[in-house]
Structure 1
Amino acid sequence: MKNKGVYSSITELVGNTPIVRLRKIEERYNIKTQLYAKLEYLNPFGSVKDRIAEALVEDAWKKNHYKKDTIIVEASSGNTGISIATVAARKGLKCVIVIPESISEERKMMLDLLGARMIFVSKGIKEAIKKAKEFTDLVESAVMTRQFENKVNVRVHKRTTAKEIMKSLNNIDYFVSGVGTGGTITGVGEALKKKNNSNTLVVAVEPWKASVLSGKQVQSHGIQGIGAGFLPAILNIKIIDYIFRAKDWEAIEYARIMATTEGIAVGLSSGAAICAGMKLGADINDASKKVLIMVPSAAERYLSTELFDNKSQSLSELSNLYGKPEVNEPNAQYKPETNNDKQQNGQQELTCSSINS
């Protein structure tokens, strides 16, 4: 996006999102390491998925030579679906998004507002992908954009996200990103490692209950946007140096920390990444080191989730809370070591000490 004042399309506003130094968090939690967040929710459709939506639709257009009656189809946990629905609306195309019924109500309402038709599935994103492919095979005019396997996803992040980061920050020591489709972490991670001769270490964030990278059993989890339950085809696991497994409650708690400390209201997958970045920064505790955290979406898309389920508290409860607030298990210890359950590519699992205010 170039700052020219007047634009011919909303899609021209995608990109050039800001990077913010998290100084208040550093101060409050006594973290010497430099923490930075790239605020992708400031894209015009509200998430990092804005970057790939038009490219995915255009790629499908070129490969399938579709017309005005073409139906754009994608399987999504919400954000990609919203971004693709926006592009489809702009181009005058029909759109069908296959989504898990467990996604937030805000996502469903946005898809409906944008004119997308929704197909609901009960067993998560893997079932949604299967159903989307079935629909595409059955309907002649349907074309699937395939975000989990289309390498356009990775190329867009190399061409835009990574370049923006490298223009703004030099010598990033750690890059922290959640893993959904794998496009962001692969595209940005590969570019940063190439520029910095592999001195940038890549930290992949996945849900505790769906830790595929760590070789754990997959269960349902509450961190929408990451943890698909399988290894996406476009994910380059070779660039991942560390894996952080975020618990559902950590995603909530650290999203709230981001809001109440920095005044930046982020969603659950962002909370999981902030959790990883803060814990990593606290344990490195080196003022010369830089940790960059990807923040994919804002809190407004989680209004109906537990992120906003904050019941009123009594005076005594608040006194206890402010007297000694704890963010994580007080006895947890940080010891980076090879994970016995890791996959064969040799990543390490990050298990970090607590951060207390």
Structure 2
Amino acid sequence: MKTNKVYSSITEVVGNTPIVRLKRLEEKYNIKTQLYAKLEYLNPFGSINDRIAEVLVEDAWKRDKYNKDTVIVGASSDNIGISIAAVAARKGLKCLIVVPESIPEEQTDMLDMLGAKIVFVSNGITEAFSKAKEFTDNVEHAVMICQFENKLVVKTHKKTTAKEITKSIKNIDYFVCGVGTGGTITGVGEVLKKKNPNTSIVAVEPWKASVLSGKQIQPHRIQGIGVGFLPKILNIKIIDYIFRARDYEAIEYARIMANTEGMAVGLSSGAAICAGIKLGEAINNPMKKILIMVPSSAERYMSTELLDNKSQSLSELVTLFGHPDVDITQNSDKQQEPTL
């Protein structure tokens, strides 16, 4: 990102991330469809969650005016906790983040470096939110961030992420996005649909936590998506297709993105890249454009399976994680037939 501007705050640097054509991946898989990626890991705190953190903290301020005793409380199973902690540090506020024990150690190290207090829970993001609420209810000056319910998340993505996309690239045929809070796919998806009703929105979720597909929820390794419930801010009606990514696919395609395009991305990004490539292969039309949302970098997942077993082949990973079925399904709420 080129700029000669001098900023007064790190939060002013958020946004305006680049869109890059993935020509090497197109060549590698002999895909005629145009593949593009929006690189959200180039935000200052390292993820797409940087876009919503200050908005959420400011919204909390409106509910309980800041003072020297204010504690910003959040629950996080991915990078949102880091973004919130960074904003809190910038504003001189105390911060407490409740996280599942399974969170990568790089993320807890970053939370600690930013001055946040960390509380661990054993049963995922649902328990983390419950514990965060319990703390908030029992501490007088604590205010809680709730990214899965706050409509400002969607509004922010409409005003920033979607605006950048529509300004940079015209006539997107498919928008591929993982579902975490549901804010990105809803905000961007609604704007793209309004501009062109023929744009297809492709939701990416873990194979083992396929809530959108109505499947049973199991533990999975793709941090950042597949929270195990339908977020209140998610607009299911705009979703045309659902791609269920297996754990090993997220790992393998994150590696492929790194050693093919030179972009070191995280696990949910790997899942989205997998979906985009398989979609591109199915369409195979040089006139069609696929935009893939890349939310975070590999640096936050170095202690996960992203680097473990790095000498293993794809077939060995398949044996470890499951059979490599391809599953691009149409949203059951949609009436039209798939066009893939």
TM range (shorter): over 0.9
Q: Secondary structure at the match of 1:306?
A: coil
Q: 1:29 to 1:235 in 2, by over 3 A?
A: same
The answer on whether the counterparts of 1:89 and 1:114 sit within 8 Å (CA) in structure 2 is yes
The answer on whether the counterparts of 1:214 and 1:349 sit within 8 Å (CA) in structure 2 is no
Give the superposition deviation at 1:65.
Answer: 2.0
For residues 104-183 of structure 1, what are the structure 2 equivalents within 5 Å? Answer: 104-183=104-183
Give the superposition deviation at 1:346.
Answer: 3.3
- The 2-side partners of 1:199 and 1:278 are apart by 20
TM-score by length of 2: 0.93
Render the CA deviation track for 1:177-209: whole Å, top value 9, x for unaligned. Answer: 00000010000000111111x111100000000
- The 1-side partners of 2:124 and 2:92 are apart by 29
Match for residue 210 of structure 1? 209
- The 1-side partners of 2:336 and 2:12 are apart by 39
- The 1-side partners of 2:10 and 2:82 are apart by 14
Match for residue 272 of structure 1? 271
The answer on whether the counterparts of 1:243 and 1:347 sit within 8 Å (CA) in structure 2 is no
**2:176 alignment partner AA:** V
- The 2-side partners of 1:172 and 1:139 are apart by 47
For residues 226-265 of structure 1, what are the structure 2 equivalents within 5 Å? Answer: 226-265=225-264
Q: Secondary structure at the match of 1:52?
A: helix
Q: 1:347 to 1:111 in 2, by over 3 A?
A: farther
Give the % identical residues.
74
Render the CA deviation track for 1:18-44: whole Å, top value 9, x for unaligned. Answer: 000000000110000000000000000
Render the CA deviation track for 1:79-101: whole Å, top value 9, x for unaligned. Answer: 00000000000000000101111
Q: 1:49 to 1:246 in 2, by over 3 A?
A: same
Give the superposition deviation at 1:7.
Answer: 1.1
Give the superposition deviation at 1:311.
Answer: 4.5
Q: Secondary structure at the match of 2:17?
A: coil
**2:74 alignment partner AA:** E
- The 2-side partners of 1:15 and 1:125 are apart by 26
Q: Secondary structure at the match of 1:222?
A: coil
- The 1-side partners of 2:335 and 2:242 are apart by 7
Match for residue 282 of structure 1? 281
**2:125 alignment partner AA:** I
Q: 1:89 to 1:347 in 2, by over 3 A?
A: farther
Report how many residues are paired.
334
- The 1-side partners of 2:62 and 2:271 are apart by 37
Q: Secondary structure at the match of 2:290?
A: strand
- The 1-side partners of 2:337 and 2:125 are apart by 25
Q: Secondary structure at the match of 1:96?
A: strand
The answer on whether the counterparts of 1:242 and 1:349 sit within 8 Å (CA) in structure 2 is no
Match for residue 17 of structure 2? 17
Q: Secondary structure at the match of 2:205?
A: strand
Q: Secondary structure at the match of 1:120?
A: strand
Structure 2 unaligned residues grouped into runs of 5+: 317-321
Q: 1:94 to 1:333 in 2, by over 3 A?
A: closer
Match for residue 319 of structure 2? none
Give the superposition deviation at 1:66.
Answer: 2.8
Q: Secondary structure at the match of 1:150?
A: coil
Give the superposition deviation at 1:347.
Answer: 8.1
- The 1-side partners of 2:258 and 2:336 are apart by 30
Runs of 4+ in 1 over 6 A off after TM superposition: 347-350
The answer on whether the counterparts of 1:240 and 1:347 sit within 8 Å (CA) in structure 2 is no
**2:73 alignment partner AA:** V
Match for residue 95 of structure 1? 95
- The 1-side partners of 2:241 and 2:60 are apart by 34
Match for residue 325 of structure 1? none
The answer on whether the counterparts of 1:37 and 1:295 sit within 8 Å (CA) in structure 2 is yes
TM-score by length of 1: 0.89
Asked if 1:291 corresponds to 2:290, the answer is yes
Q: 1:347 to 1:66 in 2, by over 3 A?
A: farther
Q: Secondary structure at the match of 1:281?
A: helix
Asked if 1:189 corresponds to 2:177, the answer is no
- The 1-side partners of 2:336 and 2:244 are apart by 11
**1:346 alignment partner AA:** K
**2:24 alignment partner AA:** K
Match for residue 299 of structure 2? 300
Match for residue 198 of structure 2? 199
Q: Secondary structure at the match of 2:234?
A: coil
- The 2-side partners of 1:297 and 1:338 are apart by 26
Give the superposition deviation at 1:312.
Answer: 4.3
Asked if 1:49 corresponds to 2:58, the answer is no
- The 2-side partners of 1:2 and 1:53 are apart by 24
Q: Secondary structure at the match of 1:307?
A: coil
Q: Secondary structure at the match of 1:65?
A: coil
Give the superposition deviation at 1:164.
Answer: 0.2
Q: Cα RMSD between the aligned structures?
A: 2.3
Match for residue 324 of structure 1? none
Q: Secondary structure at the match of 2:35?
A: strand
Give the superposition deviation at 1:134.
Answer: 1.1
- The 2-side partners of 1:349 and 1:258 are apart by 31
Q: Secondary structure at the match of 1:147?
A: coil
Mean CA deviation greater in 128-137 or 160-169: 128-137
Q: 1:338 to 1:80 in 2, by over 3 A?
A: closer
Render the CA deviation track for 1:279-327: whole Å, top value 9, x for unaligned. Answer: 00110000000000000000010110010114447xxx89x99xxxxxx
The answer on whether the counterparts of 1:51 and 1:156 sit within 8 Å (CA) in structure 2 is yes
The answer on whether the counterparts of 2:253 and 2:271 sit within 8 Å (CA) in structure 1 is yes
